[in-house]
Amino acid sequence: MKKIQSLAKLLLDPSADIAEQDDAADYLGNYNDDKALSALISASKGDIVTDYSVLQTCGESIARIWVLRDQFEMQDYVKLCMQARLGALDYIEGMKPEWFEKYNLRIDYQ
């Protein structure tokens, strides 16, 4: 639990090094934990974290947790900024391609 809190704090720190934020986003995706997911979603709105690569990693990590749970969360997906959505969709495309049809998902680069 303490590890998740430390990673979430680092991810959500606007003064943190981008590489460290990216690592934190990646590591949080390894935890099937509501606090990890919440931190990733908060970061993925694009107002605290603004680096595209970190946002994409956040999206991938969110999708990893959803796949672990076998549960896509549309109400959280719509909150994500475009870069985070693209990261999530990229992961889903490889791991749960049936979700594209089931949830009417599409990769839209606009």
User: For residue range 45-101, what is the model confidence (pLDDT) as tens digits?
Assistant: 988 889 999 999 999 999 999 999 999 999 999 999 999 999 999 999 999 999 999
The answer to whether 93 touches 100, Cβ cutoff 8 Å, is yes
Indicate the angle between helix axes 52-69 and 18-28, nearest 10 degrees. 10
* pLDDT (tens digit per residue) in 3-12: 999 999 999 9
> How many whole angstroms separate alpha carbon 87 and alpha carbon 59?
5
The residue ranges of every structural domain in the chain are 2-102
The answer to whether 93 touches 66, Cβ cutoff 8 Å, is no
- Which tokens sit at 13? 């720190």
Confidence of residue 110 (pLDDT cuts 50, 70, 90): low
Amino acid making up residue 47: D
Check whether 36 has a pLDDT greater than 90: yes
Q: CATH number for 2-102: choose from 3.40.1180, 1.25.10, 3.40.50, 1.10.155.
A: 1.25.10
- Which tokens sit at 62? 């969110």
- Which tokens sit at 95? 């791991």
> How many whole angstroms separate alpha carbon 88 and alpha carbon 58?
8
Confidence of residue 25 (pLDDT cuts 50, 70, 90): very high
